[in-house]
Amino acid sequence: MDDATFKSLWEKIVDRESLQGDKVNDTYKTQDTFSHNVTIFPEQKTKTSNNSDTKQTFSESQTITPRDTFSKETTIAQDSQEQEIHINAQNTYRDIKETNRDDMNVVYEAWQKKLKRKVTVKKMLPSSKNKSFVGAMVAAYLEHPNIVPIHNIEQSETGKIFLTMKPVKGYSLNELLHPQTKKQEQESQKYELSSYLKMLLKICNAVNYAHSNGIVNCDLKPQNIIVGVYGEVLVKNWDIAVSVDNDQKKAYITCKDSICKPMGTPSYMPPELVEGRGKDISYATDVYLLGGILYEILYRNPPRKNKDLWHTLLEAKRGQLPSFDSEVPDDLINICKRAMAKNAKSRHANVAEFQNELEDFLSNQESIVISNQATIQLEKCLKCLENSNHNAAYIKNTPKKEIEKSKIQLNDMFLESIFSFKNAREIWQGNIKAIQGEIKSRLEYATLAFQNEDINLALSQIEKLEVLDTTPVDEEKINELRIKIKDRSSVYSEVKRHTKGISTVIFSTIILCVFLVAFILVLVFLPNWIPPHIIFLSTFLALVITLVWNAIKSNER
């Protein structure tokens, strides 16, 4: 779809002035998209000026007759033309208090007398009957712990619609991610990344359940998620939900094939919603929206927010991914990118697959935390090593004991990072960051040992690198270090050989000198004690033995 056609499509929903506005987090839809909303009530007598009976419907285009039910056992209303429902607020509720009002609904807190419980009562204003009624019916149909429960729906004698719902005290996920008051700020500080990810898993439970019933939400966003003070996580607002099948039990829900105009929230919507391609709406549509919530959890910004509505819509149409940075774990970035792929076939096959990847990340969180700490430690090691190598003045002016102490500390830091990476790898064998970190730390440690002329330590680290999954670049560095160690070892061997040879000559010379001195002393002081031929023979044998021993040691060298 070209931009001109796309713009004309959206001008049927909003005026040109609104396209230049900044309301990118509002939910948009055409008035006729859900115009077939229906009544669950039979024909009722309504007081009018001419006392004539009129039908109470939410639109003129379609109604559900009393035979239309959620199941064969439970009907929405009694099949009686004469039934008349009376809603008397004073008889049904007490302690009624208005808590919120907008252009669609009025919300009250009240005490339900019959069941003796606190409830939330929502009165639909005329402008919202079509959309809010469908949302309420979907929520009632999808009875799930993570979906706001609808207790009852009633119609007064004057035609007003009242919804009775479970009261939930808490904050929206949007208020926690973007706190505006001190209370919201205090509540927000209770949660860390893992807490928000666990919330998202509960949202996935609700969405997955909806999908199992053939319903796609189409408007998942932080504003529509309630986080209760007791840990409840509830999805609200199913107003633009669509059915992906032709189940007659859901005849009051718009079928996706009838969608031909855009709907949804521009900051989050996938291309199929922004272009009004109803036939392309699928479970992957909600996967995209879940990816958008994940992005906002990670970066505290919606996936897209341009300078105005029109440019935000263009980004959504092009399927342009938001920007990512390295401060966030790579695994979460990959999950988010996959979920928000432009092509629905490139996204997760279903919510369960998206959910499984998040659960895998959380289960391996301990390994990730340890490897992140090890990475910080390794960076400190490399920084200290760089400073010591380039600060000649420090080496020259610092006492030898201090330098030795620094070397020991650096050695300990390297060992700490190595064993932390190893521990993280053992906890989660698929932790690529831990594997790469251990390779880098061992290689740097081996290099440091080589520089400190500790050849055995350097060789031991290289041997341990052989069992790790090294890259070609790592192998090249390891081979270079091996060659250096081999050259250094050759020099040491040569020096050792010559040193050993010199030692042998000196030792032999000393022995020979001892024999000569002994021979001279015997000749001078004891000429008649030992026969001369014995003395000459002994001296000759000592000389021969010394020469033979030197020859043997020379061959060994």
Three-point CA angle 225, 28, 341, nearest 5°: 70
Residue showing tokens 């500390």: 409
Least confident piece of the model among 68-72, 207-211, 371-375, 494-498: 68-72
pLDDT band at 151; cut points 50, 70, 90: confident
On average, the pLDDT of the chain sits at: 80
The predicted pLDDT at position 368 comes to 86
Q: What whole-number distance in Å separates Cα of residue 522 and Cα of residue 535?
A: 8
With beta carbons less than 8 A apart as the criterion, state whether 200 and 146 touch. no
Say which residues have a Cβ less than 8 Å from residue 451's Cβ, sequence separation at least 6. none
With beta carbons less than 8 A apart as the criterion, state whether 162 and 52 touch. no
Instruction: Name the residue with higher pLDDT: 260 or 201.
Output: 201
**DSSP code of residue 147:** B
**Is pLDDT above 90 for 366?**
no
With beta carbons less than 8 A apart as the criterion, state whether 266 and 244 touch. no
| Strands 215-216, 242-243: pairing kind | antiparallel
- Residues above pLDDT 70, as percent of the chain: 76
Give the pLDDT confidence of 400-459 residue by residue, as tens digits: 777 778 888 888 999 999 999 999 999 888 888 899 999 999 999 998 888 888 888 888
> Beta-carbon neighbour count of residue 95 at 10 Å?
10
Radius of gyration of the chain (CA): 41
Q: Kindly state the tokens that stand for 17.
A: 């002035």
Which residue, 42, 27, 62, 123, is CA-closest to 254? 62
User: DSSP states of 489-548 as a string?
Assistant: HHHHHHHHHHHHHHHHHHHHHHHHHHHHHHHHHHHHH-TTTS-HHHHHHHHHHHHHHHHH
Q: What whole-number distance in Å separates Cα of residue 241 and Cα of residue 289?
A: 13
Beta-carbon-side half-sphere exposure of residue 152 (alpha carbons within 13 Å): 14
Q: Kindly state the tokens that stand for 274.
A: 């922004």
Give the pLDDT confidence of 166-193 residue by residue, as tens digits: 888 899 999 999 999 999 999 999 999 9
Q: Phi and psi at residue 103, in whole multiples of 5°?
A: -80, 5
Give the pLDDT confidence of 268-291 residue by residue, as tens digits: 999 999 999 999 999 999 999 999
| Class in CATH terms, 88-167 | alpha beta
Give the pLDDT confidence of 509-547 residue by residue, as tens digits: 777 677 777 777 766 766 666 666 666 677 677 767 766
Beta bridge partners of 227: 171, 233
Q: Phi and psi at residue 302, in whole multiples of 5°?
A: -65, 160
Average pLDDT estimate for 8-21: 88
- DSSP run (H or E) holding 78: none
Say which residues have a Cβ less than 8 Å from residue 469's Cβ, sequence separation at least 6. 435
Q: Kindly state the tokens that stand for 429.
A: 């064998």
> Beta-carbon neighbour count of residue 466 at 10 Å?
8
Query: Which residue type is seen at 109?
Result: E
Query: Which residue type is seen at 16?
Result: R
The predicted pLDDT at position 86 comes to 39
Extents of the domains making up the chain: 88-167, 366-470, 504-556
Q: What is the pTM of this model?
A: 0.67
The predicted pLDDT at position 490 comes to 64
Q: What whole-number distance in Å separates Cα of residue 38 and Cα of residue 252?
A: 6
Instruction: Name the residue with higher pLDDT: 294 or 506.
Output: 294
Average pLDDT estimate for 229-243: 91
The predicted pLDDT at position 127 comes to 59
Q: What whole-number distance in Å separates Cα of residue 220 and Cα of residue 295?
A: 13
Give the pLDDT confidence of 370-406 residue by residue, as tens digits: 998 999 999 988 888 877 665 555 556 667 777 778 8
